[in-house]
Amino acid sequence: MRRIYLDHSATTPVDLEVATLMMTYYTEKYGNPSSVHGFGREAKQALEEARRQVAELIGATPQEIVFTSGGTEADNLAILGTAEAMRKKGKHLITSAIEHHAVLETFEYLEKNGFELTVIPVDAEGIVSVEDVRKAVRPDTILISVMHANNEVGAIQPIVEIGNLAKELGITFHVDAVQSLGKIPINVKEMNIDLLTVSSHKIYGPKGVGALYIRKGVRIVPLAHGGSQEKRRRSGTENTPGIIGFGKACELIGKRMAEDSKLQTKLRDRLMNGIVERIEYVKVNGPIGEKRLSNNVNVSIRFVEGESLLLSLDMLGIAASSGSACTSGSLDPSHVLLAMGLVHEIAHGSLRFSLGRQNTEEEIDYVLEQLPKIVERLRMMSPLYDQVIHANQAQ
């Protein structure tokens, strides 16, 4: 059976060049970077090269990069670390309603433990308003956290404007850039970002590796204690093969970003327009054009369940997702779609396709050929759809 992978926002395949490089650091150059002997120095040198590669992709200096076990840990380190470091200055935190769970739930944890939280709403396209952020600020606000691009609907946020505001007010600004890294150019200096989360496995690197950029001079309290790695900001022996793979993946995606984005935008629009043309009662979720990630398609297909669509697609070897990968398996509709004002019933029938480097036009056309048939079959079993058809016929 053919297999078509359209779930790159959940994870990506590891680039062969990355995997090959990593192998060397598992089997030959396996020293502990903290060791003083040759094996250790060799690993340390490669680790520092990776730090330079990550820093370069986001316009930071290598000393500002702290490696973590992924985006989730980097988000936690940024938020918990700032809250702990700044608690004497204030206890008010600001975030948006469409953040990844790694951000939202970390803030909710702090809210249960004595902090106060303002969650900024979004508009119907899933975009935060800078004015809403400004209005939420209080004298005791210590942290603003807004993601760069949303993982479910691809909405790109006004990070430059929010960064300017945070700088003007002297408030620490955290950005989860896991989805935008390698798709939109990022420069933490120009964007006035203090803390930036990135993850390796969304950019053709290995899973279980990420980083937090911490602007020079910004103080955070570490999550773990006991080792002095990463300048005491992240204790524990470094995942050297993973980090080295992440560094390489950053270098490669930096070179390919413009070309990849151009190709994926074409495929994205072909898929999105094709779905709208071929299927009735479809709503595109998220912005159209410039404000949307180059690889994201998200649609609500009425009178069907997202989960049923996914299973039917999977039987044909087509991998997509409903909402975000982390919430599938639960029956709650996506918090992002609800924040955008979708009613439960419509949010339930939503489907996300996220494109990647290896996808082809031919694959998109196969999906466009199969999806309408699946929808038609599922709708035949839907009592709601039956009522709509009869109502239309009666008119």
Ligand X SMILES: *Cc1c(COP(=O)(O)O)cnc(C)c1O
For ligand X, the closer of residues 180 and 192 by Cβ is: 180
| 309: number of Cβ within 10 Å | 21
Residue among 97, 119, 316, 326 flagged as catalytic: 326
**Contact between 210 and ligand X (CB under 6 A)?**
yes
Give, to the nearest 10 degrees, the angle between helix 16-27 and helix 240-278. Answer: 160
| 151 lies in the site for ligand X, by CB under 6 A | yes
Choices 19-27, 49-57, 172-180, 297-305; region in contact with ligand X by CB under 6 A: 172-180
The answer to the question of whether 71 is labelled as a binding residue is: yes
Smallest separation, CB 63 to ligand X (Å): 22
Smallest gap from residue 101 Cβ to ligand X (A): 8
Residue 178 near ligand X by CB under 6 A: yes
Minimum CB–partner distance for residue 269 and ligand X (Å): 22
Q: 96: part of which helix (H) or strand (E)? A: strand 92-96
Residues 230, 380: Cα–Cα separation, whole Å: 58
Q: Which of 76, 118, 192, 199 binds ligand X (CB under 6 A)?
A: 199
Give the pair of three-digit tokens for residue 199. 């993850």
Smallest distance from ligand X to CB 1, Å: 28
Dig out the tokens for 342 from the structure.
């979708």
Residue 242 contacts ligand X per CB under 6 A:
no
The two tokens of residue 283 are 């709503």
Among 78, 147, 252, 378, binds ligand X (CB under 6 A): 147
**Residue 326 labeled ligand binder:** yes
Size of the site for ligand X (CB under 6 A): 15
CB 336 within 8 A of CB 153: yes
Pick left, alpha or beta for residue 330 (phi over 0 → left; psi -120 to 50 → alpha; otherwise beta).
Answer: beta
Q: Is 95 helix (H, G, I), strand (E, B) or coil?
A: strand
Tell the smallest beta-carbon distance from residue 175 to ligand X (Å): 10
State how far the Cα of 160 lies from the Cα of 175, in Å rounded to an integer.
11
What are the phi and psi torsion angles at 215 (to 5°)? -55, 140
**Closest by alpha carbon to 133, among 166, 98, 178, 87?**
166
Ranges within 81-100 binding ligand X (CB under 6 A): 100
Closer to ligand X by Cβ: residue 175 or 304: 175
Closest by alpha carbon to 299, among 333, 266, 340, 347?
Answer: 347
The reply, when asked if residue 199 is annotated as ligand binding, is yes
User: Which residue is listed with tokens 């058809």?
Assistant: 389
In this structure, which amino acid lies at residue 82? T
Is 72 annotated as belonging to a binding site? yes
Choices 42-50, 194-202, 251-259, 266-274; region in contact with ligand X by CB under 6 A: 194-202
Q: How are beta strands 141-145 and 350-354 bridged, if at all? A: unpaired
H/E element, 251: helix 240-278
Q: Is 250 a catalytic residue?
A: no
Q: What H or E segment, with its residue span, contains residue 198? A: strand 195-199
Please indicate if the annotation marks 82 as binding a ligand: no
Residue 200 among known ligand-binding residues: yes
250 is in an annotated binding site: no
**Interface map 52-81 toward ligand X (x if CB under 6 A):** ------------------xxx--x------
Provide the annotated binding site for pyridoxal 5'-phosphate: 71-72, 151, 179, 199-201, 237
As annotated, the active-site residues are 326
Query: Would you tell me which residues interact with ligand X (CB under 6 A)?
Result: 70-72, 75, 100, 102, 147, 151, 176, 178-179, 199, 201-202, 210
